[in-house]
Structure 1
Amino acid sequence: MSLVRSGGGVFDPLSLDFWASADPLGVVRPLAEQCPVLTNVCVDWKETPAAHVLRANLPGVGKDAARVEVEDGGVLVISGERAREEPREGEAWRLVERSSGRFQRRFRLPRGARLDQVSAAMEDGVLTVTVPKEKAKKPQVKTVEISG
């Protein structure tokens, strides 16, 4: 009998990486120990007539640990770090499913986004980023006089 590596990644139970990250009691190590930057932040992006509104679920992340940046070229970056809780003396983890460590999500904003007016607010573990849109300009029609 031989083991065949499936190459499915960290969450594939047939992958040797999956079993290498488990301890003898079957507790899987936090994802932060396996990946330097987490991308598992869930984000909803809604477009309204006036703005683009992005909502990111960041449970356990304070507003001081979250960061919103706008890069050149209209790229919105949501990043930060979720602190890892260390067990106290006499305590031991039996199951770890909540990820900890750094996270980052990047979004290319469409043309017409007002990058100089981006705002963000955090409430109940949800980060809301609002990117206003430029007002739609009505096409100007100029009548040209026909000579002749």
Structure 2
Amino acid sequence: MSNLTRWNPINEFEDLMSRYNRMFGLSRTEGEGKDLFSRSDWAPAVDIKETPETFTIEAELPGMDKKDVKITVHDGVLSIEGERKHEEETKDEKLHRIERYYGSFTRRFTLPDNVDENSVKANFKDGLLKLTLQKAEPKEPKAIEVDIQ
């Protein structure tokens, strides 16, 4: 059986921008450089909503289970990572067309300053991942006086 890969020009552009940002040190996520020449074959669609108290991110992950998804917050960046496994052909079935995306994915979102990174709550039901992030007062920069030796 041959592997079918759907070409997505948007992924090509995102990959190019990601490389550009890493080259000029604009990337805020740690460990991204090790994936310099790899990219996801697909990325779930997301909706981002805002209320006076919260931000909500909803990601479509049909056919996936919550154990296949990992959510992290590091240095002001929220990452959603996961993998949708490909169904294998069996003796009784023959695949004629594959239009759904399979494989691993990563989505990263830079969080605004007014988000409490410790407040992220996740809910996964019927293939929809819903993240709720509470707003907080933006952190005021602190001036630190340094003694001269």
Please give the TM-score of this superposition, normalised by the length of structure 2.
Answer: 0.66
Task: Find the counterpart in structure 1 of residue 52 from structure 2.
Answer: 49
Supply the distance in 1 between the matched residues of 2:113 and 2:50 (Cα, whole angstroms).
Answer: 13
The percent of aligned pairs where both chains have the same amino acid is: 36
Q: 2:93 aligns with which of 86, 91, 94?
A: 91
Three-state SS of the structure 2 residue aligned to 1:46 is strand
Structure showing greater Rg = 1
Task: Find the counterpart in structure 1 of residue 40 from structure 2.
Answer: 37
Three-state SS of the structure 2 residue aligned to 1:116 is helix
Letter of the 2:133 counterpart: V
Please tell me the root mean square deviation across aligned C-alpha atoms, in Å: 2.4
- How far did residue 103 of structure 1 move? 0.8
- How far did residue 36 of structure 1 move? 5.0
- How far did residue 110 of structure 1 move? 0.5
Equivalenced residue count is 108
Task: Find the counterpart in structure 2 of residue 141 from structure 1.
Answer: none
Query: For structure 2, which runs of at least 5 residues remain unmatched after alignment?
Result: 8-37, 139-149
Q: How does 1:123-138 map to 2 (within 5 A)?
A: 123-134=125-136
Would the aligned equivalents of 1:30 and 1:98 in 2 still touch at CA under 8 Å? no
Letter of the 2:105 counterpart: F
Please give the TM-score of this superposition, normalised by the length of structure 1.
Answer: 0.66
Would the aligned equivalents of 1:60 and 1:125 in 2 still touch at CA under 8 Å? yes
Would the aligned equivalents of 2:42 and 2:102 in 1 still touch at CA under 8 Å? no
Structure holding more helix per residue? 2
Supply the distance in 2 between the matched residues of 1:42 and 1:75 (Cα, whole angstroms).
Answer: 18
| Structure 1 ranges of 4+ moved more than 6 A | none
- How far did residue 116 of structure 1 move? 0.8
Task: Find the counterpart in structure 1 of residue 18 from structure 2.
Answer: none
